[in-house]
Structure 1
Amino acid sequence: MTRMHARGVILLAVGAGVALQFNAPRIRAEDNYSLPRFQSDYGGVGLLQTPTARMVDVGEFSFTYDQTDPYRHYAFSLQPLDWFELGLRYTKIDGQPFIASEGELDYLDKGIDMKFALLDETRVLPKVSLGFRDVGGTGLFSSEYVVANKRWFDFDFSLGIAWGYLGSSENISNPLSALGERFDERREEGGGDQGGEFDFKGLFTGRPALFGGIQYRTPFKPLTLQLEYDGNDYESEPLGNDQEQDLPVNIGARYRVNDYFTLSAAWQRGNTAMVGATLSVNLADITQPKSDQPPVPVRSFEDATRDREISWNGVAGTLARNAGISVNSIKREDDALIVEGTSERYSDLPEAELRGNRILHNVAGADITTFRYRWKNRGFYLRQDSLPRAPLPENPRFLELDDPFIEDDYRDDIAVTGQDKPADGADAEVLHSALNNRFSWNLSPALNYNYGGPDGFLYEVYARLDTEFKTDENGWLSGTLGYGLFDNLDNFDYVGPSELPRVRTNTVDYIEQTELGIYNLQYTRTARLGRNWFAMGYAGYLERMFAGAGGEVLYRPFNSPLALGFNANWVKKREFDTQFGLRDYSTWTGHATAYVDTGIKDVLAKFSVGRYLAKDVGATLDLSRTFDSGVRIGAFATLTDAGDSFGEGSFDKGIYLSMPLDVFYTTSTRDRTGILWRPLTRDGGQMLDRRYQLYDLTSDREPERYWDNFTNGRR
């Protein structure tokens, strides 16, 4: 029977190939992108149980939930690059007890999946991808596969070969056996006893299986039908949880409710129903219409240059309200007006500057030809942007607020340079000077959460009060109070074993035992050590779990793809109630970090080496990409000398999102929020959660995106 199934798939593929070649002139490669693409049961683009070679649009993020007895899958999928798909998945096995929970909790498996595009589809060639499922996890569902897809009108055909879980029916011989006997047998230990180990020697070993299928987009566009041949026979399921398979064919339907939400249903294994849903959003171009104040009206040149008494305090106030510039000073030097301050509202500096130009034009004398913006942050001079005053008043298209336009020659007259300190000449005249916003506060809802154990998703919703008091331009006292509102911590039951000091595995204890907590209370001070050298020191209750003192030094040349930083901290663990008490545990922790802007698809690479909170020593690699929307997605992995003491997972890893709140609000803001997913929480490889980092505080040292935004004329 197995051989007949394999022949059937091969005949199906050959027949489809003949039809495709016969009709090749009708196929356009770009039509690939109009195909509906869906998340498979395990996450990642696919049919039902099987993956396909397809990828979604760059920047798409998806969350998928589905249930196929006895499995429940929770999968997060990201498409950071057009040729790379990354997934983080949890699989709950109903009725299978978690090893250390004495049978009270269902087993929860964690895994990371990856897929790489090898070949793009053309009129003749299929799209081909290489994938790995359950990489660095326990290996319960580990697989490697190569799969190809070819489109024919509204049909999309896939055919692949899989090793491991996806190919457990073993319906063909391993073609790689010709390279050596080591490919004949597959090792069963997978990711090791604790999981998280990369078993490179086991890749592509053992007898594989063919899999494939057909996807059909019906004339009723929201509905897509799927048919697949499954390479898994379900006779060797993880943890001895074998399932009966009446038919190796799965049939399903996808109903796309809208661009963001899809419902799924299927009949699998010939005897089991599947139901699921997927939420998707493209983070690369996510945006929110704004209701900001319009730029100030521009007066005629004669009115703007007429001699009159000017309130520069009022000008500074208008710059703050309309251009989002917190002004430290306004100066005049020769034929230039100079604004020193911080952009606190608009994520794109050109927007603040173009708004500022209108305001300054309305008060500047006839002899002023240049407006300069010296951008500062936390006492650091970071850069200076010099913009010509003309042709702002004369260009009618530029004055149209709903259709902003920047002429090329205007852009050519702009100068962006690094700034170490005030560079005023002897004739510079101070028109306005003040330390603004000495005290600020913000009250908002927030979420504490922990996920990765058999208890499932544990959360606490709390009220968060952030406050800040500036002692001067280089120093400030910051504090955060949190008050718990509601939670589901009654579900908290399992605390994972740990041979390392508990620096993170008792996170839920802090959530559970805190009603009103001091999440942060620290004094921070900055200093400029040299032209490209920045420094920061801090002391206090640095995060929810640790108090102490530390410092950071950063070398960051202006407009350079490379930066180097070093931080060192002495910390002591805090009491669970998050008040002022401290526990016995203390340690030194710190890291040297290299930041490299790769120049490839806006990818930033960070490589850190040092000592972690549990006194283990190792290195962290962090890769992230920032989209035009300002959203940054990334992944990291940490390997230390903790070895077997690390426990389940073997090393720390995770996926994160850093999102500008600007994409959610109808008014512009530079504030951000972040979400972090770890397959599980362990004590090894844990860094101090420092509130401020010099690389972020000096982000305006990188002006490359300035030119893109100026050319686009964003408002």
Structure 2
Amino acid sequence: MTFRIAAAAFVSAVLVATGVSAQQVRSINSYGVSGLIDLPSAQMQPDAELTTSVTILSNRSGRGQIAFQLLPRVQAVFRYATLPNFLPDGSPQLSRTYDRSFDLRLQLLKERHNLPSVVLGLQDLGGTSIYAAEYIVATKSFGDFTVTGGIGWGRLGTRGGFSNPLSAISDRFDSRPNLVIGTGGTLQSSQLFRGDAALFGGVQYEWSDRLTLKAEYSSDAYVEEVQKGVIDIKTPLNFGLDYALRPGLRVGGHLLHGSEVGLTLQFALNLKKGAFGSGIDPQARPVTLRPARDLNPRVWDTAWTQDGITAPVARANLVADLGGEDLEVVATKIEGDRAEIHFRNGRFTTSAQAIGRAARHATAALPASVETIVLVPLNDLGIAGTAVVLRRSDLEALENAPDGTDEVLAVAGMIDAATLDRTGLFTEPDAFPRFRWSLGPYVSLSAFDPDNPARFDLGAQAYAAYEPVQGLLFEGAVRRRLVGNRDESTRTSISQLARVRTDSNLFAKTDGPFISHATANYLWRPGRNLYARVSGGLLEQQYGGVSGELLWKRERAPLAIGLEVNRVRQRDFDMRFGFQDLDATTAFVTGYLNHGNGFHSKLDVGQYLAGDKGATYELTREFSNGWSVSAYATKTNITSEQFGEGSFDRGIRIGVPFSWILGTQTQASSKLLIQPILRDGGARLNLGNRLYPMVRDQSSPKLTENWGRFWR
């Protein structure tokens, strides 16, 4: 169970500690959402705000949250909580309960004039129901005072409850099914907005720009906790304060129910913003203007001796000039008034910026006779997507135009690079063979083991890649654990399915060096709009075999369709060269859809590692600075009982761009996976070099979405 929430929290802490978040965000409650102390308010965080928080109570309870403002009026929350002495008598983990839950908040009205903001909230949606509640809350500001009031059901309807006003619609709202603390993963639709309702409210006062005082009347009687002796309720009143240490970093102290004290630490950063504003990249060189020409109607002289720049000289200039920008020239074709440049982008986070830099260097390196410049950006494995066709005269005329970026896009040609004639294409002698290697640390984190909810390994990794010709790649990595405790997990799988993932803790027990992966890959363009990949070897830490993939992606089309088939066998637990007897075949048809405005959908339909069949849907929001946040859910033809705890697979991914942290261009990034429960149902291979992530950034519409960086 890979879980890197701790890394995300650490990154957040470092960033806000250095003052990179310039926006003061709203204080939160102990459940990680905008609110008072225990109670929610109807305020929302700024759009794209990522908030991590930790709440610790004196009764040894604790909650950690990640909240993301998905849209200006939609907020999603993941929570991981621990409570003492909460499970029934006889449970093997009587002393401690660990709980995972999700919230969804929808803002129905925004505050304006005499109207309050209004939010509809679903708490512990599809979780174990420990924190299950629904509410409608309103908030209105009056100068330094902010007043909140609402009506709640579930937990928020257990003190001072009255008959459900929704009973006027249907009698089914009269009663709420008894709380059954389940395994999570199923929507408790039978409970939503049912049973007694209760009113709650509170007020907060902004004492200063940094200090906020809070008081609330809670409608949560903590029924289960009181019965189990977890908390002693003396009063429904809670009091607290919230202090902003600096923008994005806040700390709150609370007195709860007259018997408990609590501490909340909040980190916030906005994924729309850059850490260092526009960055600290070197200034781009200007377009090199050609000398003015005689206006007589004669045909331009295209002899290579013009300007003293011959084809070999031009190629050498291109290699040197683009190399200074970490743009590696792989192949060129320079004929008459046309030049074609194939290059790898090893630095810039967007293809548009790399194309813009390459175009300006081309104006300096090419002879004046060249009018048409065809730029073909390649991905890291040398596969081309879109070829961008530019007129040199347009570059000369539009570089300093007020709307130069949009005007260049309007006159640029976008064609599938597979349609280019490769006759006469000169491959640079230093382009292949290509060898890369690196040596550095690695960290593996896991969580949600009830015996120890946070485990980690820290070690060293040696990586090497060899590319003898374009598209053929041999790569692998060897790791050695230095310190850690992931090998101490003693839990055994009780899965009803083939143990395709639930034996993951046994892989962590390997002693000595192990092979993370070792593969041979071949990627090529079978034809227009088509991309293909075949891979073989030790595909990931737990499986080896063969993999094949075909992707259809048409230039400028928002939709792409992929087909992937894998035949694999589970590796030995020592992760060297041996295999076990567990074989698996997976096959998927995948649809990718670019919705625009940074939103992307992915739908996989097919057969998973355990032989179950179903679908996975993932929604991602991406930002121009490289950040991304996505959520996925998988449902297959096995029952919730067969799946086990969690009922179905789901999770959250957070993409962290290193360029955002460093303030300079780099393509390095990290994916933080928050997977509440790892089971065998809905399990897929963790393959590298899948086609769509490599292809989409170098082709439209993603290419043109970031065209604003062309002149950067």
Q: TM-score, normalised to structure 1's length?
A: 0.88
Q: Is the 8 A contact 1:131 1:145 kept in 2?
A: yes
Once the 2 structures are TM-superposed, how far is the Cα of residue 296 of structure 1 from its aligned partner? 4.3
Distance 1:239 1:688 in 2: 45
- Superposed CA deviations along residues 197-252 of structure 1, whole A, max 9, x for unmatched, are 11212211100111121122222x11111111111112333984563211111111
**492-501 vs 164-173, which deviates more?**
492-501
Q: Distance in 2 between matches of 1:567 and 1:276?
A: 46
The amino acid across from 2:50 in the alignment is F
Work out which of the residue numbers 410, 413, 416 in structure 2 matches 1:412. 410
Instruction: Point out the more displaced range, 297-306 or 45-54.
Output: 297-306
1:331 aligns with 2:327: no
Moved more, 569-578 or 99-108: 99-108
The 8 Å contact of residues 327 and 341 in structure 1, kept in 2 or not, is answered as yes
Confirm whether residue 188 of structure 1 aligns to residue 191 of structure 2: no
Distance verdict in 2 for CA 1:564–1:393, change over 3 Å: closer
Q: Which runs of 5+ in 2 are unaligned?
A: 1-21, 293-304
Which of 230-239 and 455-464 deviates more? 230-239
Aligned-partner Cα distance in 1 for 2:35–2:601: 29
Query: Are residues 1:633 and 2:629 paired?
Result: yes
1:71-150 matched pairs, under 5 angstroms = 71-96=61-86, 102-103=92-93, 106-150=96-140
Q: Which has the higher contact order (CA 8 A, sep 6+)?
A: 2
Q: Is the 8 A contact 1:607 1:622 kept in 2?
A: yes
Instruction: Tell which deviates more after alignment, 486-495 or 502-511.
Output: 486-495
Q: Which residue of 2 aligns with 1:423?
A: 421
Q: 1:307: which partner in 2?
A: 308
Given that 1:319 and 1:326 are in contact with CA atoms closer than 8 Å, whether structure 2 keeps it comes out as no
Deviations 1:446-502 (A, max 9, x none): 211111222111111222222211132121111112121221347634446322222
User: Residues of 1 paired with 2:469 and 2:87: CA distance?
Assistant: 58
Q: Tell me what 2:468 maps to.
A: 471
Shift of 1:431: 8.5
**Deviates most, 101-110 or 625-634:** 101-110
1:371–1:387 CA contact under 8 A, matched in 2: yes
Q: Tell me which amino acid in the other structure corresponds to 2:34.
A: V
Counterpart CA distance in 1 for 2:432 and 2:216 is 64
- 1:381 equivalent in structure 2: 384
SS of match in other structure, 2:52: strand
Matches within 5 A, 1:344-355: 344-355=346-357
Contact between 2:275 and 2:663, CA under 8 Å: does it hold in 1? Answer: no
93-102 or 485-494: bigger deviation: 93-102
Look up the match of 1:500: 497
> What's the counterpart of residue 647 of structure 1?
644
Opposite residue 371 of structure 1, the aligned amino acid is I
CA distance in 1, matches of 2:399, 2:583: 65
The verdict on how the C-alpha distance between 1:234 and 1:429 changes in structure 2, with shifts beyond 3 A counting, is: closer
**Over aligned residue pairs, what C-alpha RMSD do you find?**
2.8
Aligned residue for 1:11? none
Tell me the SS of whatever aligns to 2:224. coil
Mapping of residues 158-557 of structure 1, within 5 Å: 158-190=148-180, 193-219=182-208, 221-237=209-225, 240-241=228-229, 243-288=231-276, 290-296=279-285, 301=290, 306-308=307-309, 311-312=313-314, 314-377=316-379, 378-390=381-393, 392=395, 397=400, 406=404, 409-423=407-421, 430=426, 432=428, 435-436=431-432, 438-454=434-450, 455-489=452-486, 492-495=489-492, 497-557=494-554
CA contact 2:572–2:578 (8 Å) conserved in 1: yes
Per the TM alignment, residue 656 of structure 1 is displaced from its structure 2 partner at its CA by 0.8
State the SS of the aligned residue for 2:468: strand
Verify the 8 A CA contact 1:326 1:436 in the aligned structure 2.
Answer: no
CA deviation vs aligned residue, 1:6-30 (integer Å, no higher than 9, x gap): xxxxxxxxxxxxxxxxxxxxxxxxx
CA shift, 1:429, in A, is: 7.2
Distance 1:98 1:76 in 2: 29
Point out the more displaced range, 304-313 or 660-669: 304-313
State the alpha-carbon separation in 2 of the partners of residues 474 and 388 from structure 1.
Answer: 30
Q: Hey, what does 2:592 align to over in structure 1?
A: 595
Q: 1:469·1:477 contact (CA, 8 Å) conserved in 2?
A: yes
> What is the CA distance between 1:647 and its match in structure 2?
1.1
Q: Aligned equivalents of 1:90 and 1:213: distance in 2? A: 26
Question: Which whole-Å deviations, capped at 9, do the CAs of 1:578-603 have from their partners, x for residues lacking one?
Answer: 1111112111112211112223x421
**Do 1:66 and 1:276's aligned partners in 2 also have CA atoms closer than 8 Å?**
yes
With over 3 angstroms needed to count, the CA separation of the structure-2 counterparts of 1:608 and 1:490, relative to structure 1, is closer
Q: What corresponds to 1:12 in structure 2?
A: none
Q: Distance in 1 between matches of 2:122 and 2:180?
A: 13
* TM-score under structure 2 length normalisation: 0.88
Tell me what 1:621 maps to: 617
> Which amino acid in 2 is paired with 1:307?
G
How far the C-alpha of 1:186 sits from its partner, in A, is 0.7
Does 139-148 or 385-394 show the bigger shift? 385-394
Structure 1 unpaired stretches of 5+: 1-32, 399-403
User: C-alpha distance in 2, partners of 1:711/1:578?
Assistant: 46
C-alpha distance 99-233 of structure 1, shift in aligned 2 (>3 A): closer
Q: Deviations over 1:513-548 (max 9, x none)?
A: 243221110111123233122221111111111111
Residue 46 to residue 434, structure 1, CA distance change in 2 (3 Å): same
Evaluate the alpha carbon distance shift between residue 431 and residue 491 of structure 1 in structure 2; reply closer, same or farther with a 3 A threshold.
closer
Q: Match of 1:278, SS?
A: strand
SS class of match (1:558): coil
Question: Per-residue deviation at 1:688?
Answer: 0.8
Identity %: 27
* Higher mean C-alpha deviation, range 369-378 or range 206-215: 369-378
Q: Tell whether the 8 Å contact from 1:40 to 1:50 is kept in structure 2 after alignment.
A: yes
Give the Cα–Cα distance (whole angstroms) in 2 for the partners of residues 476 and 242 of structure 1. 58
Amino acid of the structure 1 residue aligned with 2:565: A
Mapped partners of 1:196, 1:411: distance in 2: 47
Query: CA contact under 8 A between 1:514 and 1:578: conserved in structure 2?
Result: no
- TM-superposed CA distance for 1:308, in Å, is 4.5
- For residue 506 of structure 1, report the CA deviation from its aligned partner: 2.6
- C-alpha distance 707-547 of structure 1, shift in aligned 2 (>3 A): closer
**Residues 111-134 of structure 1 deviation map (CA, whole Å, 9 limit, x = unaligned):** 111111112222122211111111
Q: Closer, same or farther in 2 for the Cα pair 1:386/1:229, shift >3 Å?
A: same
Aligned length: 673
Matched residues in 2 for 1:363 and 1:257: separation? 53
Counterpart-to-counterpart distance in 2, 1:54 and 1:104: 38
Change in 2 beyond 3 A, CA 1:239/1:356: farther
What CA distance in whole angstroms lies between the structure 2 residues aligned with 1:395 and 1:567? 44
Residue by residue, what CA displacement relative to the aligned partner does 1:124-172 show, whole Å, maximum 9, x if unpaired? 2221111111111111111111111112222222111111112221523
1:405–1:713 CA contact under 8 A, matched in 2: no
Q: Deviations over 1:622-664 (max 9, x none)?
A: 1111112121111011112231121111111111112332212
Q: What secondary structure, in the 3-state scheme, does the structure 2 residue paired with 1:257 have?
A: strand
1:60 and 2:60 aligned: no
